[in-house]
Structures are given as C-alpha cells and as structure tokens.
C-alpha cells in the first residue's frame, strides 16, 4: 500500500482512491498502462484547475477567500460590535454599492437596537468629474449627537474614507467609527483609525462578495483575486 504521505500531492488533492493508486503502483502491469492511468489523472486535475479560474470581462480570477472564511471574519467583527456598541443606539451607514453583501450578513449578527442607512459617494460635482469624493448621496438621518458606524467593503489606499470622514464629522456626530470587511495595509496611505477590520489582505485586485470589476462579479459568494 502507498501511505497517504508518500503519495504525490496532486493525487492527494484530487482524492484519487488510494486503493486504485496502490493497485497500479504494486501490480506488475505494463508501463504503457501505468502511463495511461497517470494521463487520465493529470488530465482530470487540469480540468479541475481550469474550472476554478473564472473570467470576468477581460480578466481571469482565482478563488482566494472562501465563503466560510468570510463568514468567520464577519462573526469576529459582529462579536466586537456586540460588546462595544450595545446600548449606544448606533446608526450604521452602509456605503453602496460594494458593502451591500457585507452589511447584510453583518447586521443579521448584531443583537442590539440600531438604525441602518445607505449612502453613495459621488465623485461628480455638477458636470465635472473630479478625482475626489465630494458628496454623500442618500443620507436620510440626522447625525447630530449619534454614534455612527460606517460600513465599507474594502479600504485600499484609504483616500475615499479620508474624504468621507470629515463630511460626517461636520454633521456633528458624537462618534464616527469605521468598519471594513477587507483592508489592504500595503496600499493604505492615510493614518485614521479603522475600528473594525474583518480581514487584512495582500495588495491585489479582488472581486466577489459585493466587490466588482467594472460592474461585474459582485454576486459571487466568495472572493477571487485577479491573475496577473
Ligand atoms: P480606496 O479609496 O483606495 O480606499 O478604495 C475605495 C474603494 O475602491 C473601495 O470602497 C472599493 O469600492 C474600491 N476598491 C478598492 N480596492 C478594490 C479591489 O481590490 N476590488 C474592487 N474594488 C476595490
Ligand atoms: Mg466601497
């Protein structure tokens, strides 16, 4: 018998039945038959690999964060919030579009009274496109004196949130906290505090779980990283 640890890794990953492998390895069959067997296995493995890679518009992506890992990260954030924010009647402000899935799963795990509002950040002033975020659209609550928690999908360079925070502070909130599912420390250029971080990730472009590539990929239940 071939012990599991002596089996080639590809065969272990692919879960080829051990009985079959040892039969081929130990029986005195012609070399050509063995090669054939190996060919079938390798072929199936490469098919499996191709299945995992997805194409979105002109780019290829590979799975990088499973739905289970995402859920664990959200559970952790919800746990901290349930300790910190209970009794403070906070207002959660969800930044659309990217944060819709995170917000939906996070808020179901929150066990204290709270309000939820949704905003969009516009980078347009009049008809002129600018590189900076200038306007919050859709805010329908008075922030004065309240504990506010901004819910973001990802903080990358940190520039978007750096523009958003003063807008909210100007509305005289008592406290403004920041929560993000994902954080890219190597890309971050600012120095404000991020109160709740689900997961730190490498500085690679990702999609899925609300995040998009030119509008596509938001519906994917797990996160994929671009193939460079
Ligand atoms: P920041 O201003 O660089 O922190 O990025 C802010 C916004 O850019 C995020 O809220 C996302 O909408 C978008 N973004 C940043 N990194 C990614 C990514 O890897 N995939 C998809 N969108 C991203
Ligand atoms: Mg966002």
What is the whole-number distance in angstroms between the Cα of residue 142 and the centre of ligand 2?
Answer: 22
Q: Average pLDDT, stretch 8-22?
A: 56
- Write down the pTM of the prediction: 0.79
CA angle 10, 64, 227 (to 5 degrees): 85
Measured from the Cα of 157, ligand 1's closest atom is: 3
What is residue 163's predicted lDDT score, i.e. its pLDDT? 87
Buried b (16+ CB within 10 A) or exposed e, 18-38: eeebeebeeeeeeeeeeeebe
- Report the range of poorest mean pLDDT among 21-35, 52-66, 149-163, 184-198: 21-35
Is the Cβ atom of 224 under 6 angstroms away from ligand 1? no
Q: Average pLDDT, stretch 15-26?
A: 59
Is the Cβ atom of 105 under 6 angstroms away from ligand 1? no
114: which 2 tokens?
């709270």
Residues classed as catalytic = 156
Average pLDDT score, the chain = 85
CA distance 28 to 101: 56
Buried b (16+ CB within 10 A) or exposed e, 148-187: bbbbbbbbbebbbbbbbbebbeebebeebbbbbbbbbeeb
Query: With 70 as the cut, is the pLDDT of residue 32 above it?
Result: no
Measured from the Cα of 187, ligand 1's closest atom is: 3
Choose among 23, 25, 7, 26: nearest CA to 15: 7
Is the Cβ atom of 154 under 6 angstroms away from ligand 1? yes
What is residue 28's predicted lDDT score, i.e. its pLDDT? 58
């Amino acid at each position: 018998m071939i012990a599991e640890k002596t089996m080639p890794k590809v065969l272990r990953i692919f879960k080829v039945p051990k009985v079959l492998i040892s039969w081929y390895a130990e029986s005195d069959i012609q070399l050509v038959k063995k090669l054939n067997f190996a060919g079938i296995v390798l072929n199936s493995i490469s098919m499996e690999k191709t299945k995992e890679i997805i194409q979105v518009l002109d780019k290829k992506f590979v799975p990088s964060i499973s739905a289970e890992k995402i859920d664990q990260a959200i559970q952790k954030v919800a746990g901290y919030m349930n300790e910190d924010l209970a009794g403070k009647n906070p207002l959660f402000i969800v930044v659309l579009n990217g944060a819709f899935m995170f917000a939906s799963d996070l808020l179901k795990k929150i066990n204290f009274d709270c309000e939820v509002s949704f905003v969009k950040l516009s980078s347009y002033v009049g008809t002129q496109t600018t590189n900076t975020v200038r306007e919050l659209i859709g805010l329908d609550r008075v922030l004065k004196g309240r504990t506010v928690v901004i819910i973001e999908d990802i903080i990358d360079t940190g520039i978007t949130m750096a523009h958003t925070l003063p807008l909210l502070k100007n509305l005289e909130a008592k406290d403004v906290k920041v929560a993000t599912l994902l954080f890219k420390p190597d890309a971050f250029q600012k120095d404000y505090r991020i109160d709740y971080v689900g997961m730190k990730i490498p500085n690679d472009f990702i999609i899925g779980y609300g995040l998009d590539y030119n509008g596509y990929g938001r519906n994917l239940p797990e996160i994929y990283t671009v193939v460079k």
